């Protein structure tokens, strides 16, 4: 859920989402790349693209397949 500062957090990692509506749930689509060790996190709200950020896979701390 987007807070009043238009930020969300996942696993203690905080993201700014400037175009997101306050106090609404948004969808995250995470695209990992093994070679570079980075993931692209895309933010969506009701089929509207809000933005993207690149983060280290290790910072996301998610399960690897």
Give CA–CA dist 61/17, Å, rounded. 20
Q: Work out the angle at residue 17's Cα, subtended by the Cα atoms of residues 19 and 43, and round it to the nearest 5 degrees.
A: 90
pLDDT in tens, the chain (65 residues): 999 999 999 988 999 999 999 999 999 999 999 899 999 999 999 999 999 999 999 898 876 65
Write down the pTM of the prediction.
0.86
Check if the beta carbon of residue 39 is closer than 8 Å to that of residue 60.
yes
């Amino acid at each position: 859920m987007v807070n009043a500062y238009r930020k969300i957090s996942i696993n203690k990692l905080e993201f700014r989402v400037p175009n997101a509506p306050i106090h609404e749930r948004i969808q995250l689509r995470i695209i990992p790349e093994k070679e570079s060790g980075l993931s692209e996190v895309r933010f969506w709200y009701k089929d509207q693209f809000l933005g993207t950020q690149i983060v280290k896979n290790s910072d996301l701390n998610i399960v690897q397949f």
